[in-house]
Amino acid sequence: MDEVLFAKSLAADARIEKLNQTQVEAYIANGTHFIFFGAYYCPYTAEFNPIWLDIQTTYYSQGWNALPNFGIKKIQCGDIEEFCSQPKLGSAEGYPTINLFKDGKFVEEVLSDEIGVIEREAVLLGGKPRAIASASPLATRPKTSAGNDTLSDGNGGIKIIKHTATTAGMDLQSIIPVSIIVTCCSLFLICGLFLRRRMKKSRYQPLSGDANMDAVRYI
């Protein structure tokens, strides 16, 4: 991520409303809540921060914050990964993850093309829908080029490409080439040792038909 995008992410993160681990249980105990689980070291979380801030802006501009027991928050999991991965919180082990809770119970993870479920839940609770969909952060965004490890769209939503905490900053695309190289080098080494041993054994052979078996010829 370049410096401009990183600065934008930090600015967005500073404005995002967060919960600490002592507040989570009481916050989700009653009503409908969407929790964004992220980690400061995760590049995909950094890309998603401005998007979540846009969702938070819509939450306030549409008056959804006035709905009883309806909310959206973020948890910074970077230093409390074990806490965030609890089954009762939806076992968030990759970031970013958005989980839906109702009356203290984990319901489901919000899938890549289902960010709009936040609006649908708000409307079901009596909130007003967006006046102009195209102006909303929950509307469809332009697709990114194929093959990029960035946020892209589904149909009417945002695709979330997660960074898994257990890789400690390395994604699968960086691990696979290293594994292939190590495997190939190992095979070449084994083949080289095998051929060297065969050549050493066949370097000298007895002269055929010679009574003196100690006599040898060079091949």
The SS3 call for residue 162 is coil
Percent of the chain with pLDDT over 90: 49
The C-alpha atoms of residue 42 and residue 78 are separated, in whole angstroms, by 8
The C-alpha atoms of residue 161 and residue 75 are separated, in whole angstroms, by 18
The C-alpha atoms of residue 86 and residue 196 are separated, in whole angstroms, by 55
- Which residue in 50, 72, 37 sits closest to 164, CA to CA? 37
- pLDDT, one tens digit per residue, over 112-146 is 667 789 999 999 999 988 765 444 455 433 333 33
What is the amino acid identity at position 65? N
The C-alpha atoms of residue 153 and residue 143 are separated, in whole angstroms, by 6
Phi first, then psi, for residue 153 (nearest 5°) are: -100, 150
The C-alpha atoms of residue 85 and residue 112 are separated, in whole angstroms, by 19
Please state the rounded mean pLDDT for residues 192-207: 56
- pLDDT, one tens digit per residue, over 184-195 is 666 666 766 666
pLDDT for 218 beyond 50: no
Name beta bridge partners: 18. 74
Q: Most confidently modeled of 85-99, 106-120, 156-170?
A: 85-99
Indicate the class that CATH gives domain 3-167: alpha beta
Q: Where in the chain is the domain with CATH 3.40.30.10?
A: 3-167
Site of tokens 């910074």: 76
Contact 12, 49 (CB under 8 A): yes
Q: Most confidently modeled of 31-35, 107-111, 127-131, 167-171?
A: 31-35
Which of 59-68, 75-84, 110-119, 133-142 bottoms out in mean pLDDT, i.e. has the lowest?
A: 133-142
- pLDDT, one tens digit per residue, over 8-46 is 999 999 999 999 999 999 999 999 999 999 999 999 999
